[in-house]
Each structure stands twice: as structure tokens, then as C-alpha cells.
């Protein structure tokens, strides 16, 4: 790579501090203090035309947008369009710019890098750490958050290689806006359609403007995870197939987005850094832990698979075959979600889960109405790659009031962010939920 170890210098103009990334050609220009700089990467997919709207909305929201187009992107959208709408002219190459190290300067200037659309090729290259162009070099050279917005045909989106690459990026802290289901190029319908520009812009603004950590800064999020274990004797217990991966993914995502996280879990998996982790085994222990902490939470996400029944009597010593066939009488466990709803305070957002094997949406809608929660996240645990012990999930998010969002098969971290997008929107819409002493900033 040409050039040396050079960093952008900071200058001030007209007595006001301004950030400038000064290359050899003076590229960059002053950015008023407090104005976020977003590098908007556009790759070569049919959904690239929607990046034009993302660019316009970001600029309208007061963001300084620097567009970076790949060579293939220009097969779908024009360079002049982005240069006209963005805050700076389009950058395209590592080699044709007057700045000998454009990726370094872009990476250092950025408060956020957003890639719209993120093709399968881009995701694979990024996950492998290959800098084969200006955009991939920039995402590798930046310490700013990176938000990728995948879009591709259904068969490509569901391919194990794509899912593994996305999971790898998520483990490294990359943010993802999951694609939607809908009409695709070629006339067919399925998962892989780029998320709507408004959703992408909302996530981007949350990452650059939501305070330290994002749109859940100042909030306390309580998450339950894992399957409870109901003792039969000192050795055996009744449980279910839940691994706790989805609950832990939600806790991790909430922490990344700035929340103070309380994680009540039956697993031995570490929680996110800084989280208060409470280890439990049984439904009774989980109920005690949740009820004791519910009043302080702004959001409660009941992702745990809590047993519906437990043995009425627990043997004080191991049951033996020599004693004959034991009779185990079951009794219902406490309904933790119902108790949380009963105790809820104004402004809290309550999220329940519904793991179903048939009539998924119908059963979830009935649970939403019966429980009185704000959101139900439903999944078909009988479907391939979905639910228990998988690294992927596919869910339908139902809200009180009738809103519905389908999240196609994706890594559980992507599903976690989709759930928290819904939560963040409900918090923002309810003035009574604002953190004490803070003013919620509206975002378009």
C-alpha cells in the first residue's frame, strides 16, 4: 500500500472546532463539531438503488455522509447521483485518489460505516479480512462501528457459507440489519430483500446519536435465558432443549446498544462485559430472581424456556431401579411472565417468547392477547435451523396494536437486534418510558 503512517489532523475554522481529515489533496473539508461522519459503502447488488434514499435521509438528519462505491456498484447506480446528494464526492479506488492512503483517512474520520447493500461477496471478503478494494480496506482500517445491511436472493441468503460469514462478523461486533421477506429481483418472493431505508437510517442514527453505546443508553434491560431444570431427585431432572443462545444474544446486543444488562440464565455461558449475571436452575429460582429485579428494569425480555410442570415431590436420594418403577406426579410451575405483567410499572416494555411447532402465528397472537405483554417473539422450533440449540433462528415479531415483522433465517445476533429494534421504537414512542433526568432524542 502506498503512503506511510499518516493520520488526519484536526483544524478549527471561524473559532469553532471542526474535524477535518486532510489528505494530500485537502480532501475532506471541515465538519462542524458534533456532526457525525458516516461512510456509506455501496456494493454491487440490485438493491443499490435504495442506498440513494439512505444517503438522502442521512444528510437530511444532519449527518456528514462520505459515499464509497465499489466498481460493481456503478453497474447499478450512478456515481454522480451520490456525489450530488452526499456531503462529499464519491470515493471509488485505493489507487486513483490524490490521497495515497484513502482507506486509513476514511476509517479514522468515520463515526460509523454503513454498507448498503451488503452482498454475499462483500460479507465473505470482510469476514475473511481481505482488503481487495477501498470499501473492504476501510472497514478493516476503522475502529468505528460497522453496520451491514445484507441483500441477496433467498438461496444465497440461506446458504451456510453466508450465514457463517455473518455469524463471524457478529461475533466481532459488527451490527446487522436483517433483510426482510418480499418481492425479489426475478419476480419471485422470499427472504433476502433489503430492509427499508427508514429502518436502516434509524439504526444508523441510533449508533451515532444514541449516546455511549447506542439507542438503549441509560436503560436497564433484564433478559432471561436457557431452559429451567426441575429436579426429580439429586441426579435427575426434567428440562427442555433450550440452549439459551437466543437469550444470551439479546443480552449481548442490549449491552452493545448501551443498556445496563441484567441476565438471569440457567447456562454457564459468560454474559456480556459489565452485565449483572444471575445463575439459576429451576423455574422457582428464576421467578425469584426476576421478580426481585423487575421493578428496576425498563425492558424485560423473557427469552428463557421455563418449564410448565415440575415434580410435586423431589426425592432426597437417587431413585434406584431396585426400588421399582417410580410414580412422578407433576404440578404446574409459576407463570413468571404473568407475574411480571401484574407488577409492571408505567413505561416498561415487556417481551415474551412463544416456541411453537404448529400454527405459530395464531398461537403467538393468542399469547400476546392473553398475557398482556407489548411484544411476542414467535418461532417454529420444528423448522430446520430454527430455535433450540441452533446458531440461527427465524421469528415473527408481533406487537400489541397489530404490528408484525417477519425475520427470516439469520444468526441469532441478527434476530436479537431485530427484537431490540422493536423495543427501542416502543421506548422512544412512549414519553413515560424516558430514563430519569434524560431527554429522548427523536430520530427519523
Active site residues: 240
Query: Around Cβ 312, how many Cβ atoms within 10 Å?
Result: 10
Question: What is the model's pLDDT at position 112?
Answer: 95
Question: What is the model's pLDDT at position 109?
Answer: 92
Query: Around Cβ 326, how many Cβ atoms within 10 Å?
Result: 13
In tens digits, what is the pLDDT along the chain, a chain of 444 residues? Answer: 333 333 333 323 323 333 443 333 335 567 877 789 999 999 999 999 999 999 999 998 889 999 999 999 999 999 999 999 999 999 998 887 677 788 999 999 999 999 999 999 999 999 999 999 999 999 999 999 999 999 999 999 999 999 999 999 998 989 999 998 888 887 888 899 999 998 898 888 888 864 444 688 889 999 999 999 999 999 999 999 899 999 999 998 898 888 999 999 999 999 988 899 999 999 999 999 999 999 999 999 999 999 999 999 999 999 998 888 999 999 999 999 999 999 999 999 999 999 999 999 999 999 999 999 999 999 998 898 887 878 899 999 999 999 999 999 988 988 999 999 999 999 988 877 777 544 433 333
Give CA separation, 162 vs 151, 169, 362, 392, 424, in Å: 11, 11, 31, 12, 28
pTM of the model: 0.67
Can 11-209 and 220-433 be said to share one CATH topology?
A: yes
Closest CA to 309 of 221, 239, 222: 239
Report the phi/psi class of residue 437: left, alpha or beta, with left for phi > 0 and alpha for psi in -120 to 50. Answer: left
Question: What is the model's pLDDT at position 384?
Answer: 87
Q: Residue ranges per domain, the chain?
A: 11-209, 220-433
Question: What is the model's pLDDT at position 436?
Answer: 57
What fold, for 220-433? Answer: Rossmann fold (3.40.50)
Helix, strand, coil % in the chain, rounded to nearest 5 = 35, 25, 45
Question: What is the model's pLDDT at position 228?
Answer: 97
Please state which CATH number belongs to domain 11-209.
3.40.50.1950
Amino acid at each position: 500500500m502506498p503512503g506511510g503512517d499518516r493520520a488526519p489532523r484536526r483544524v478549527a475554522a471561524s473559532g469553532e472546532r471542526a474535524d477535518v481529515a486532510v489528505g494530500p489533496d485537502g480532501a475532506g473539508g471541515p465538519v462542524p463539531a458534533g456532526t457525525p461522519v458516516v461512510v456509506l459503502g455501496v456494493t454491487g447488488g440490485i438493491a443499490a438503488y435504495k442506498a440513494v434514499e439512505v444517503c438522502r435521509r442521512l444528510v437530511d438528519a444532519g449527518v456528514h455522509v462520505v459515499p464509497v462505491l465499489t466498481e460493481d456498484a456503478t453497474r447499478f447506480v450512478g456515481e454522480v447521483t451520490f456525489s450530488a446528494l452526499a456531503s462529499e464526492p464519491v470515493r471509488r479506488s485505493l489507487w486513483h485518489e490524490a490521497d495515497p492512503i484513502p482507506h486509513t483517512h476514511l476509517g479514522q474520520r468515520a463515526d460509523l460505516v454503513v454498507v448498503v447493500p451488503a452482498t454475499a461477496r462483500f460479507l465473505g471478503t470482510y469476514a475473511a479480512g481481505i482488503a481487495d478494494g477501498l470499501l473492504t480496506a476501510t472497514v478493516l482500517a476503522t475502529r468505528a462501528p460497522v453496520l451491514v445491511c445484507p441483500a441477496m436472493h433467498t438461496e444465497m441468503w440461506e446458504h451456510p457459507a453466508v450465514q457463517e460469514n455473518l455469524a463471524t462478523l457478529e461475533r466481532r461486533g459488527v451490527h446487522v440489519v436483517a433483510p426482510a421477506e418480499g418481492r425479489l429481483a426475478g419476480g419471485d418472493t422470499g427472504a433476502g430483500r433489503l430492509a427499508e431505508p427508514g429502518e436502516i437510517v434509524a439504526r444508523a442514527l441510533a449508533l451515532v446519536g444514541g449516546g455511549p453505546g447506542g439507542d438503549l443508553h441509560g436503560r436497564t434491560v433484564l433478559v432471561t435465558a436457557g431452559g429451567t431444570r426441575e429436579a426429580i431427585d439429586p441426579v435427575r431432572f426434567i428440562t427442555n432443549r433450550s440452549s439459551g443462545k437466543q437469550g444470551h444474544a439479546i443480552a449481548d446486543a442490549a449491552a452493545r446498544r448501551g443498556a445496563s444488562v441484567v441476565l438471569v440464565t440457567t447456562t454457564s455461558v459468560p454474559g456480556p462485559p459489565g452485565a449483572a449475571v444471575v445463575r439459576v436452575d429451576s423455574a422457582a429460582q428464576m421467578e425469584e430472581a426476576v421478580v426481585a429485579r423487575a421493578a428496576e428494569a425498563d425492558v424485560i425480555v423473557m427469552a428463557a424456556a421455563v418449564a410448565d410442570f415440575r415434580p410435586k415431590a423431589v426425592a432426597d436420594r437417587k431413585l434406584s431401579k431396585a426400588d421399582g418403577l417410580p410414580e412422578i406426579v407433576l404440578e404446574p410451575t409459576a407463570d413468571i411472565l404473568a407475574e411480571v405483567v401484574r407488577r409492571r410499572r408505567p413505561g416498561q416494555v415487556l417481551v415474551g417468547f412463544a416456541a411453537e411447532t404448529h400454527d405459530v402465528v395464531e398461537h403467538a397472537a393468542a399469547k400476546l392477547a392473553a398475557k398482556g405483554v407489548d411484544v411476542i417473539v414467535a418461532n417454529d422450533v420444528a423448522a430446520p435451523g430454527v430455535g433450540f440449540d441452533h446458531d440461527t433462528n427465524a421469528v415473527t415479531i408481533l406487537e400489541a396494536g397489530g404490528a408484525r415483522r417477519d425475520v427470516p433465517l439469520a444468526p441469532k445476533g441478527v434476530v436479537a437486534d431485530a427484537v431490540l429494534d422493536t423495543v427501542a421504537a416502543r421506548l422512544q414512542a412512549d414519553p413515560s418510558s424516558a430514563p430519569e433526568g434524560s431527554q429522548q432524542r427523536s430520530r427519523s
